[in-house]
A and B are shown apart, each in its own frame.
Chain A
Amino acid sequence: MKYFLRRIVFYVITAWAAITINFFIPRMMDGDPVSSFINKNQGRISSEARESLYVLFGLDSGASLWEQYVDYWKMLFSGDLGLSIMLFPSTVSEVIAQALPWTIGLVGIATVISFLLGSFLGVVIGWRRGSWADGLLPITTFFSSVPYFWLGLVAIMLFSVTWSIFPSSGAYQPGLVPGWSWEFIGSVIQHGTLPAITIVLSSVAGWILGMRNMTVTVTSEDYVTVAQAKGLSERRVMFGYAARNAILPQVSGFALSLGFIVSGTLVMEKVFSYQGVGFTLLQAIGAHDYPLMQGIFLMITLSVLVANILADLAYVVLDPRTRQEG
């Protein structure tokens, strides 16, 4: 119990630190979002509207930093993330709510596939150490050393330009109306396949390596030897004894990686112009849209925190040894 209390205190402090960083970063930088906003809407904004924009976006220079900070917290607690400058009439929450399903859907599925595939391959490679299976390691290492965006570029080059099997950008066919029609869903799947494959390719190496090394460690444990000595079938020993014990750190790593789903794969979304959270964040940075930047960064950080809590819980549920400690 004491352990959990410590963790909760830690998460609260981290959340506070993240929100504070979030508050300060845009304010420390130069670049006036309102002026860039006004430039964007040249001549369409009167000087009175300009003043109100300053107040509206918390950029009223009259207020002290502390007052702005307090206001920021008040806004957060009322669930108000402010207005987006870039997409003017809509609020930050609306913009995020629009982008979130795309990222979670695509990256979520890719992460799950990558985790399952990587863990399975890892067990097999770790089990058959020194055989042909070890040859997979350098290949996967190469794929994880390749910068992700480059993998994406090559994939687009091969599969959309040279062979045009998959579309190169966007989340669905432009012109289709989003809805639950077969046509639309098919288009989404077609557009999502290539990004998903590249995500899996670039992330699977980490899972394989982690699982393999754990399997190598676990297979020298006595209980595996005993299971073998009992004459159990090899598959049973491999999955029932070795893999089962080796997968613990993988599960906690998986819970952590869930948190990174929301940050999406920023770079993936940039390469494939996929309309998720990361793509929106990049656009917000380009437009100096501070409220949107803050909102997205907050979302990302909070989801990572939640994932960390999940990882802690998963650990306690799966590993009885951690329970004895407290």
Chain B
Amino acid sequence: MTGIPVQMDHAQLDNGAEPLAPEVPKRRKGSPKKQKLLFLRNGKSFTGLAILGFFAILAVIGPWIAPYDPSAMSSDILQPPSGAHWLGTTHVGQDVFSQILVGTRGVMIVGFIAGIGATLLSILVGVSAGFLGGVSDELLSSLSNIFLVIPALPLIIIVAGQLPDAGGLTVALILAATSWAWGARILRAQTLSLRRRDFVEAARANGESTWRIVWFETLPNLTAIMASSFVGTVTFAILMQTTLAFIGVTSISDWNWGTILFWAEQQQALSRGAWWWFVPAGLCIAMLGMALTLINFGIDEFVNPRLRSTGASPRALRKRRISPRIGFTAVVREGAPASSGGSATTTSRPDGATRPGASPASTGATSSGTGTSATTTGGPGTPRPGTSHDDRDNDGTTTRKESVR
């Protein structure tokens, strides 16, 4: 995923290893609080967090506020949405709205347990592979590569299908055990590049213990990568879990959104035209998935100023006299006065100009920005310093996406 090289930029900027871009010193001055606000001020991450928070609250209070027992049958069979049943009823008169409310908890818990488990595993494997080097590195990275290559969905289905009554926790553990490899690979690559940086060398020269270097020098610099791989895994786990429930390989008595869809498909909700049975559950999954994706976009843009200008609306950009076309990357520096359009911070150019070659200032900003990214992201296939060739970061999306279908 292209989000990954992006985060490399961040680490590099933060450490000031290559103070190429003029904005680096200024950004580092920003207090942590301001940076946090910056993350929230981003429309994408704010929307994502708001939706996620909404579902988190539902997960906690859902079973209490549910108007009916989700499994209780009644005589209202296959009723469309009404005042009594907000989202209609199923073939045996169960209330769909209550099923969704109760099911939220299962979905969230499994998603987060799987995400936490997979992230911990990937930190353990990735960071130790990066730090230990040598034979252990070879072994650990082959292990994660093997896990990357073995197709996850068929394996998970086979395993889950054989376990009698695979409940929520089992599913979460299976998902964690099969989805850590991608994060481990990215973390290893980044750890490799971090451990050669000056500040780590300095810490080593100071006689700091390896543990201290790992915990206090390295891990904080991996936060963005860990966060984005955590969010990615949670998304993946939620999709997988509902898919498994829909296929019917996991326990069909636990309520989650996938179970609702399982029953809807089993009982021919489609041909009976009972859209209220399966549309809301699917929309919930989609909303949650989108919220997490938006948060990940927010993280990307937060750590990489080069992507940030794309987050602004075209009108806002035009207002600031930025025309985002080829040849340069408009770096919108948050915190700077909006009128500073002409200064070196926001490289602007006369409207409508499609040819580059504006002011020398803008050209300078361009090439320095490019330099930073070229050394770290390395473009496709460029061997990154300290990384072996098999650590390309462009096939993750496909691997993950395809396997969910």
Which residues in A have some Cβ–Cβ distance to B below 8 Å? Answer: 3, 6-7, 10, 13-14, 17-18, 21, 25-26, 28-31, 127-132, 134, 141-142, 144-151, 153-154, 156-157, 161-162, 168, 199, 202-203, 206, 209-210, 213-214, 216-222, 224-225, 228-229, 231, 234, 237, 242, 245, 248-250, 252-254, 256-257, 259-260, 263, 265-268, 270-271, 278, 281-282, 285-286, 293, 296-297, 300-301, 304-305, 308, 311, 315, 319, 321-322, 325
Which residues of B305-322 are within 8 A (CB) of A? 306-307, 309-310, 312, 314, 317, 322
Residues from chain B with a CB closer than 8 A to the CB of A18 are 146, 149-150
Residues from chain A with a CB closer than 8 A to the CB of B164 are 30-31
State whether B389 touches A242 (Cβ < 8 A): no
Complex CA–CA separation, A104 to B252 (angstroms): 31
- Say how far B380's CB is from chain A's closest CB, in angstroms: 4
Annotate B1-19 by CB proximity to A: 1 below 8 A, 0 otherwise.
1110000000000000000
Residues from chain A with a CB closer than 8 A to the CB of B401 are 144, 203, 206
Which residues of B252-289 are within 8 A (CB) of A? 261, 264-265, 270-271, 273, 275, 278-279, 281-282, 285-287, 289
Interface size on B, residues (CB 8 A): 88
Check B49 for interface membership: any CB of A closer than 8 A.
Answer: no
Check B40 for interface membership: any CB of A closer than 8 A.
Answer: no
Complex CA–CA separation, A156 to B278 (angstroms): 12
State whether A29 touches B398 (Cβ < 8 A): no
* Across the A-B interface, the 9 shortest Cβ-Cβ residue pairs: A249-B394, A145-B289, A150-B282, A29-B162, A213-B2, A130-B324, A260-B402, A248-B380, A265-B405
State whether A129 touches B249 (Cβ < 8 A): no
- Say how far A326's CB is from chain B's closest CB, in angstroms: 9
Residues from chain A with a CB closer than 8 A to the CB of B261 are 149-150, 153
Chain A interface: which of B121-129, B203-211, B349-357? B349-357
- Say how far A192's CB is from chain B's closest CB, in angstroms: 16
State whether B242 touches A147 (Cβ < 8 A): yes
State whether A217 touches B390 (Cβ < 8 A): no
Residues from chain A with a CB closer than 8 A to the CB of B84 are none
Annotate B373-405 by CB proximity to A: 1 below 8 A, 0 otherwise.
110010111110000011010110111011111
Residues from chain A with a CB closer than 8 A to the CB of B395 are 249, 252-253, 256, 311
What is the predominant secondary structure among interface residues of chain B facing chain A?
A: helix
Residues from chain B with a CB closer than 8 A to the CB of A168 are 270-271
Known: A130-B310, A249-B380. Contact between A203 and B402, CB under 8 A? Answer: yes
Residues from chain A with a CB closer than 8 A to the CB of B392 are 249, 252, 315
Known: A14-B150, A213-B2, A252-B395. Contact between A142 and B290, CB under 8 A? Answer: yes
Check B79 for interface membership: any CB of A closer than 8 A.
Answer: no
Q: Which residue of B lies closest to A145 (CB)?
A: B289
Give the contacting residue for A263; candidates B149, B153, B265; CB below 8 A: B153
Known: A147-B286, A156-B270, A281-B157. Contact between A220 and B402, CB under 8 A? Answer: no
- From B309, B366, B395, name the one whose CB has the most chain A CB atoms within 10 angstroms: B395
6 A-B pairs whose Cβ atoms sit less than 8 Å apart in the complex: A21-B150, A161-B273, A210-B2, A219-B326, A220-B326, A305-B149
State whether A217 touches B270 (Cβ < 8 A): no
State whether B146 touches A13 (Cβ < 8 A): yes
State whether A129 touches B157 (Cβ < 8 A): no
Complex CA–CA separation, A123 to B382 (angstroms): 21
Check B293 for interface membership: any CB of A closer than 8 A.
Answer: yes
Known: A216-B310, A267-B247. Contact between A297 and B142, CB under 8 A? Answer: no
Check B328 for interface membership: any CB of A closer than 8 A.
Answer: yes
State whether A229 touches B146 (Cβ < 8 A): no
